Amino acid sequence: MGNSSGSTVDDLQAVEMHLWYKKFMTECPSGQLTLHEFKQFFGLRGLDPEANAYIEQMFRTFDMNKDGYIDFMEYVAALSLVMRGKMEHKLRWYFKLYDVDGNGCIDRHELLNIIKAIRAINGNEGQDTTAEDFTNRVFDRIDINGDGELSLEEFVAGARSDEDFMEVMMKSLDLSHIVAMIHNRRRSV
């Protein structure tokens, strides 16, 4: 009896994986997603320069082997992390995404550009502070040593303690529309 629920979960994951695979191969028959296809895949067109740079950084972060393509396994790893990953893993991934120059720290300029990009993609409605003010507030709260850069440790600890910052990060990679698309296709198949 104990195995029955485990196999149900495994069956559900297998069905979901199959749907992800069908979606991926429908949108990308070559099995390798380019940056252009990535933008189309997520419905991202006509972005301003900050949002475009953010999406390009997201693509590079998903492209784990750095070959210029996202293959199905990289796609699944990214979706799995975003949708089901433990908070610690998500925060480490967000840090890597936000550390645009890859120097191991996030500076004000990097965070400001990310905040601007997130707002451009998700819309600015309901924002009571400017991107600059929000960035300054984040640094004031979580840059513990005051060096103007966020280390991985400061970033993770700060995100856990600052609800506003955590909310922005969670919105920065909201894939609910992709999940809805997959579920809608499941019903139509």
Instruction: Output the CA–CA distances (angstroms, integers) from residue 85 to 33, 105, 127, 129, in the order listed.
Output: 22, 22, 28, 30
- Model confidence, pTM: 0.68
Quote the mean pLDDT of the chain. 79
Place of tokens 């967000």: 94
Q: Where are the domains of the chain?
A: 9-84, 87-188
CATH number, domain 9-84: 1.10.238.10
Q: What is the mean pLDDT of residues 86-115?
A: 88
Confidence class for position 11, pLDDT limits 50, 70, 90? low
Query: Would 9-84 and 87-188 be classified into the same CATH topology?
Result: yes
pLDDT, tens digit (0-9, with 9 covering 90-100), for 137-186 = 999 999 999 999 999 999 999 988 988 888 877 766 555 545 554 455 44
Provide DSSP, 55-103: HHHHHHHH-TT-SS-EEHHHHHHHHHHHHH--HHHHHHHHHHHH-TT-S
The whole-number pLDDT of residue 143 equals 94
Tell the CATH topology of 87-188: Recoverin; domain 1 (1.10.238)
